[in-house]
Structure 1
């Protein structure tokens, strides 16, 4: 049984286009699939689930599509079906460019659910793996400048302690839907030894049975 499953939820837009629907409808149904993963994780006793919801590269998309995605995240945080489950919610990413209201909601839910224990759900929003490593390296440099660490003796454990969530375990299984076979700058530190699982179906067609 893996302890940590990370998912690249790919294919919402293509799912909608196949059906002659606006891309926004694909994101709406994809959001329901994300809820299914949370329910499934709780049912099988998975301890850590990490979802790639919005990458730093996604800002290149159409403005209306970006707005739809971010508004759906806001709604989910405010009144979504997982709010009252035994799920510790965490956010991995950077606040730059994100609406302030969304940033405040993400931090609010982190505080509100911090003592829940059944499942740790980490949602990556405005996240990029290289950005995460760059910022961690900067934090290490600051610690070395302050004399808190010897730069000649920096270890992998030292690096891990300066990551945004130092207690996040390594990824056991990284799963990507949508028929693409690449990791797309997702959790490069944590997924260094992950099993990689690529499936052809689009994300909105997934449910808890697939997990």
Structure 2
């Protein structure tokens, strides 16, 4: 199946820790492959060589930076990611499947770090308007109770700088995703992330297939 630049879609996955994004993305990418759709799979923070260097810094438990610095590093990584990976792929007619994008910045830095304070949210919105020329066509928010997700995440490798935060932090992050879903229901689709992997994958495909 050939894709033109106008047909190429930008799909992002969002959610708190341990919601199953990696497994869900694996399933979607297999579906896209089966449908004959060329795509680029990427992630944030990261995705480009420079952005991956910033990712290591941001996730390192030894990194000691304030909230504004963290937010600005996220956007520095995103700017390079967009320029080097996302926009060229879309222009070439390839779909882009991204593990996290701007909604995570609003949720983690705006609500998690910034407590949902209007000043921090306004800073983030201003940076999005200035440095993000393309938003996803579809965002899949994997909705899972925070405690359940943290239990899943705890079974993985050692906690990174974000995963070490307290439960109250992730409750605020969850609120951030919920608020964005309410504000942008046409772009952000809530996916029930509870249940069997196959069931979650089917819900995701139901949301994505109209984009074909």
TM-score (normalizing by structure 2): 0.38
More helix by share: 2
Kindly name which structure, 1 or 2, has the bigger radius of gyration based on alpha carbons.
1
